[in-house]
Structure 1
Amino acid sequence: MALNTLPDIGGNAFSTLTPEKEKQIGDVLIRQTRARLPMVYDPLLDEYLNALGNRLVARSNDVKFPFKFYWVNNQEINAFASLGGNIVSHTGTLAVSESESEFASVIAHEVAHVTQRHIARFVEAQNQRSPLTIASLLGSIILATINPEAGMAAMAASQGAAQQSAINFTRSNEQEADRIGMTILAEAGFDPNAVPIFFSRLSQQSRFVNQQLAFLQTHPLSQARVSDTRLRAQQFPQRFVPDSQDFTLTKSRILARYHYSTKDALIIFERMLTEPGGNTRVNHFRTYAN
């Protein structure tokens, strides 16, 4: 990833990497991301994702800049946060989410990464290093969230000790993002139990595939982490949160246009219409959206 267009962030990382400069760097990185990945430019999907995302941001602390949410047309389960309030979700993440709370839990987790300035905090930890090394590490971390294998290769190609500390640092932030993200989720009116449910399903799914899921490469998931989120969710009042119509229709649009082939989508959705209780507005929309 070319980083020669990044603003000068100086030598003392945290004191120099102000929220304003973090936003500047984030804008450059998201432009590079949009140039590299198959972004989705769909007004209806954008409206839903940004409405959901900003609902979560409104319940967050330490918000230092406006957030913007983006879709990538990719069936893999993944989402990542960049500097400056930019968050990207794969279409596949919503496609496999069995409830709106599950999908919102992923976005809340990424919001927490941003509000806690995890990348900026890493830069602070490296403030004795040269600005060139810091810029290289920033690029490697962002690239790792987009493409784990390429990101780790970029880290390995630079100074080994610094890059390994970057990997360890980003992993150590996951627990904090889990904790804060779950609080954001609950405050926004979603079900915190969606977090361990979603994690458990991903953990089970990863046992039956040859390659690790993209989400698990950028969000390492142990059984202890699943148990920790389950225990944490029990601290919140139990609640039933029905899916919104916007979520149901957005998921239908993603399944019809970005997840299944045209032929497969028609067969699947037309079969749904004939099943008991299947003659619904959503299934009609799915067939129409295709």
Structure 2
Amino acid sequence: MRTPLAVLPALLAALLLVVAPATSARADLLGDKLTLRDENKMGREFDTIIRSQMPMVGDTYITDYVAEVVTRVVTGKRPMPYQIKSAVIANPLINAFAIPGGFIYIFTGLIQDVETESQLAGVVAHELAHVSQRHVVNRLEKQKKISLLSTAGILAGVLLGVATGGSSGAAAGQALMIGSSGVATAAMLHYSQEDEREADQVGMNSLVKAGYNPEGMPQTFEIMLKNKWYDSSSSMPSYLSTHPGTEERIGYLNDRIARMPTEFTTRKDDNTRLKRVQVLVRSRMSPANTALAYWDDMKQADYTAMDWVGRGVTLERLKRIEEAQKAFDSALAMDRNDQLVVREAGIFYFKTGRPDQALPLLQQAAIMNQRDAMALFYLARLQAEAKQYGQAAKNMTKVNELVPEDWEVHQHLGMILGESGDAFSGNLHLAYSGVYSMDLGKARRYMNQAQALATTEAQKEQLQQLSETIKTRAALKK
């Protein structure tokens, strides 16, 4: 629930280690064809790695919004052979990517820089088209001998390049893509022009069927073109360069759009939620000085309540507390019934040591949005400080259900349960805190303490599941 941890450079090795045991046991071969079951298994394995090594956004206001956009795009793609799962990665690149099995990841840089929801949906539609058309899988199958290790090498190199955001990481990742399989070629790292065109066309179809303005797709490519992250001097792995804003692709998409009925191109987005999410992303996840410059460039007479919130969050990050206080006062004066305004003001008061002011605001925010993990997280912490352990445990358990792999949530839940007298559950969650923070010594220590307290079959089953999770994570650290 705090600012995401830096991406660990071990991602590449971790991906290889996870699949290596399977390759030795199965002669490294899956056969000539990858089934949907194989793809789903591959997707789940990589999702575990991505979540353990990359900075995932845990604010459910942000992730729920993105999930709704993704779900809406999927409605335009039915029948879809996968159950699509989305996540948001705290990374400033203007990008998104999807992997076999239907896992799609949206970068905060993309969310922050688009101007309309149709533009965000355009990238989602394009990425999901690569998955539904099985472009990566088809390329792997052309090798004739399909190996999990080769697949890991390809995707690991991709993710390493994105995670580091630098030329050295991308170069190392691409080198390992080739070396890991021994027979992979540079062509394996690229979608073909046919793949890209098909993803554009299939993606455009789903974008239109989902009710979005088709102009969103080429407009996003234009944003990428303006930022020039994709150009020939960039080391961005080509697998992730699935929507470079080249003039050619913008051109043929605009030609197709020109032949569409005007009812499609005159569709209007309701960008209200997008703009609110962008305030959260900019104020919390972009460099604080850059974020402040954004609000300094605006006339304060034009500020919305959310602009005051964004300014307040940014100033608090810069330790300019008195100025932040004034910003939150202005936000509350403008709209005290706005759930995000109330939530962020409550969090500010909590962080600055004013629990009496924080409590009613966080209670109000949690009532207004019962899926708001951030409001519930800080409310539960306040209740724990007041020794209201029953209510604190109830609310932190809800947070854990909403954000199940956040180490800090498990840490606080474990302490709350321990204080309330549930020593077994307290130790169990403290162990999971160690798992998800990759402190496996801590995880094993608290697992042993929980083991000494386990008396029921249900508790023993919980410990068995914890043990398996620790084993999986331990493979990532070797």
Please indicate, yes or no, whether the TM-score normalized by the shorter chain is above 0.5: yes
- TM-score interval (norm. to shorter): 0.7 to 0.9
After TM superposition, list the pairs within 5 Å mapping 1:123-162 onto structure 2: 123-127=140-144, 129=145, 131=146, 134-148=147-161, 149=170, 150-158=172-180, 162=184
Instruction: Answer yes or no: is 1:222 the counterpart of 2:246.
Output: yes
C-alpha separation in 2, matches of 1:222 and 1:260: 29
Q: How many residues align?
A: 281
- For residue 224 of structure 1, report the CA deviation from its aligned partner: 1.7
- Structure 2 residue corresponding to 1:58, chosen from 57, 63, 75: 75
- 221-230 vs 98-107, which moves further: 221-230
**1:78 and 1:215 in contact (8 A); partners too:** no
C-alpha separation in 1, matches of 2:231 and 2:245: 15
Instruction: Answer yes or no: is 1:188 the counterpart of 2:183.
Output: no
Instruction: Answer yes or no: is 1:284 the counterpart of 2:308.
Output: yes
- For residue 137 of structure 1, report the CA deviation from its aligned partner: 2.9
Structure 1 length-normalised TM? 0.84
Residue by residue, what CA displacement relative to the aligned partner does 1:15-57 show, whole Å, maximum 9, x if unpaired?
xx22122111100011111122112111111111111111111
- Structure 2 residue corresponding to 1:100, chosen from 117, 120, 139: 117
Equivalent residue of 1:69, what SS? strand
C-alpha separation in 1, matches of 2:36 and 2:54: 26
Structure with greater Cα Rg = 2
Instruction: Answer yes or no: is 1:250 the counterpart of 2:277.
Output: yes
Equivalent residue of 2:20, what SS? coil
Q: What is aligned with 1:68?
A: 85
**1:22 and 1:84 in contact (8 A); partners too:** yes
Q: What is aligned with 1:27?
A: 44
Counterpart amino acid of residue 31 in structure 1: T
Q: What is aligned with 1:44?
A: 61
**2:74 and 2:80 in contact (8 A); partners too:** yes
- For residue 214 of structure 1, report the CA deviation from its aligned partner: 4.1
Say if 1:164 and 1:221 are closer, same or farther in 2 by CA, change over 3 A: farther
Counterpart amino acid of residue 218 in structure 1: S
- For residue 6 of structure 1, report the CA deviation from its aligned partner: 5.8
- Structure 1 residue corresponding to 2:300, chosen from 266, 274, 283: 274
C-alpha separation in 1, matches of 2:98 and 2:77: 15
Say if 1:269 and 1:52 are closer, same or farther in 2 by CA, change over 3 A: same
Equivalent residue of 2:226, what SS? helix
Say if 1:18 and 1:156 are closer, same or farther in 2 by CA, change over 3 A: closer
C-alpha separation in 1, matches of 2:22 and 2:122: 31
- Structure 2 residue corresponding to 1:265, chosen from 287, 291, 303: 291
Q: Percent identity?
A: 25
Q: What is aligned with 2:185?
A: 163
- For residue 213 of structure 1, report the CA deviation from its aligned partner: 7.8
C-alpha separation in 1, matches of 2:31 and 2:259: 40
Q: What is aligned with 1:204?
A: 226
Residue ranges of structure 2 left out of the alignment (5+ in a row): 1-14, 162-169, 315-478
Counterpart amino acid of residue 110 in structure 1: E
Structure 2 length-normalised TM? 0.53
**2:98 and 2:127 in contact (8 A); partners too:** yes
Say if 1:232 and 1:142 are closer, same or farther in 2 by CA, change over 3 A: farther
Residue ranges of structure 1 left out of the alignment (5+ in a row): none
Equivalent residue of 2:185, what SS? helix
C-alpha separation in 2, matches of 1:78 and 1:207: 10
C-alpha separation in 2, matches of 1:162 and 1:209: 24
Counterpart amino acid of residue 295 in structure 2: F
Equivalent residue of 2:268, what SS? coil
C-alpha separation in 1, matches of 2:137 and 2:154: 11
CA RMSD between the two structures: 2.9
Residue by residue, what CA displacement relative to the aligned partner does 1:118-173 show, whole Å, maximum 9, x if unpaired?
2222233222x2x4xx3233223323442442432222324566332312446642
Say if 1:289 and 1:43 are closer, same or farther in 2 by CA, change over 3 A: farther
Bigger relative contact order (CA 8 A; separation at least 6): 1
Q: What is aligned with 2:414?
A: none
**2:100 and 2:131 in contact (8 A); partners too:** yes
Q: What is aligned with 2:268?
A: 241
Q: What is aligned with 2:32?
A: 13
